Amino acid sequence: MDMLDKGTEDLLEEHGKPRREVYLDSENSGLIFPEALDEMVKYYLELGYGHPSITHKVGWEAYEALIKVSKLLSSFIGCKPDEIHYLHSGTEANNVAILGLAKAYKGRRKILVSSIEHLSVIYPAESLRNFGFKVVKIPVDGEGFLDLDAFSSLIDSDTLLVSVGLVNHEIGTIQDVKGIVEIVKDKDEQILFHSDASDALGKLKFNLSDLGVDLATFSSHKVYGPKGAAALYIREGVKVEPILFGQLSTQRLWPGVENIPAIAGFGKAVEIMYNNFDKFHSKLKTFRDRLIDGIFENVDHVFLNGPKGEKRAPDNVNISFLYCEGEAITVELSLRGIYVSSGSACTSRILQPSHVLIAIGRKYEAAHGSILMKVAPMHSIEDVNYVLSQLPQAINRLRSISPLKP
């Protein structure tokens, strides 16, 4: 409570328990389909709780769970089941993809990443500078789309890897990854292409073979599955060396016991998302647009971060509120039962502006005043309306006590 100013403490005492709770922070963690949770419990208690490398009944059941999820996932994303490798998070998958490629391929020493990538892509890439690699961030425009002219000029015979996310985790920009891959491969077919597709899974229909990527990352919690499971697609023929060593398992790139219950829940969540794709996609877009339109109608001095319409992820709402601090907004909304993230979700406890918002040209004060909300299939129109009833009040109250004035 030491974070809160006296006025907010008074508000908490006055309002008590919020009339409603709406969780809009799926970027970081949270909501899970009940069916995915049930699937996890089944594999904890009934079958698949063993080690999938061990040759007894329970081990075989665990191994069969891996095969089942791989077949399911591959059928939705357009690859072969044995091209899917399991890890415990999208962060692990991105690190394995980038660092593992750097270990496997000798000679080329240049890596290109878009300037708005997730930090689990940027940081491992930048760490390779200590080993003689040149890491270059590709500039983007004001909506987060790659500057293709600048990008093309950066590609040369020393380029080993390009990493560009299919959907940006923070501002929802949907990149033309197929077109970007074509630019790369037309210049040099030996250059490898990785895409963090965590925010695309279940939100877009795509085919990995059609996109032409060599590696792609997926995360369970981004599709309302459990934490503790992720997948890395590695195209057949692409070499990736492990970066962690230990007892061998069915997963060559990540030793140790696979989290079979989480992987099973991951598979169930993916199945739910794609079996209900049209219904969920329409619902998410409707709620997204209602939030954006409602905020712009009722709050002054705001602007949208990222593109509008079909070029934006269906669940993503990222808005900057001038004359407010994002951290203060998250606290104020939390007291009203509305849970969002401020600035870059992965750096919300560090008083630095989002690298994504700075990359698209936002000034520091605007970046500091941004909040990210992600709608989910579990939400209702009543949830959205509650947010729209509370958010203008929250912003007005914060502005009334802020030293920053229009």
**Number of domains forming the structure of the chain:** 2
Amino acid 348: pLDDT: 45
The model's pLDDT over 19-49, given as tens digits with 9 standing for 90+, comes to 899 999 999 988 999 999 999 999 998 877 7
pTM of the model: 0.92
Task: Check 22, 102, 253, 346 and give the catalytic one.
Answer: 346
Task: Say if residue 326 is exposed, middle or buried (CB neighbours under 10 Å; 0-12, 13-18, 19+).
Answer: buried
Q: What is the mean pLDDT of residues 367-373?
A: 92
Of 15-24, 156-165, 292-301, 354-363, the range with the lowest mean pLDDT is 15-24
12 located within any domain:
yes
Amino acid 9: pLDDT: 60
Q: Is 394 helix (H, G, I), strand (E, B) or coil?
A: helix
Q: What is the mean pLDDT of residues 114-133?
A: 97
Share of the chain above pLDDT 90, in %: 78
- Residue 134 has a CB neighbour count (10 Å cut-off) of 14
The model's pLDDT over 130-184, given as tens digits with 9 standing for 90+, comes to 999 999 999 999 999 999 999 999 999 999 999 999 999 999 999 999 999 999 9
Closest CA to 266 of 95, 48, 23: 48
183 located within any domain:
yes
Q: How confident is the model at residue 15 (pLDDT cuts 50, 70, 90)?
A: low
Q: Is 23 helix (H, G, I), strand (E, B) or coil?
A: strand
Q: What is the mean pLDDT of residues 112-119?
A: 98
Residue-range definition of the domain harbouring residue 106: 34-275
Last residue in a domain, options 240, 275, 310: 275
The CATH number of whichever domain residue 271 belongs to comes to 3.40.640.10
Last residue in a domain, options 245, 275, 305: 275
Of 50-59, 148-157, 198-207, the range with the lowest mean pLDDT is 50-59
Amino acid 155: pLDDT: 98
Contacts of the segment 211-215: beta carbons below 8 A, 24+ positions apart: 211/166, 211/177, 211/178, 211/181, 212/178, 212/181, 212/182, 212/185, 213/177, 213/181, 214/238, 215/97, 215/101, 215/240
Sorted by sequence, the CB contacts under 8 Å of residue 354 that are 6+ apart come out as 170, 343, 344, 347, 362, 367, 370
117 located within any domain:
yes
404 located within any domain:
no
Assess whether 182 and 283 both reside in one domain. no
Longest CA–CA span in the chain (Å) reads 69
Active site residue 346: yes
176 located within any domain:
yes
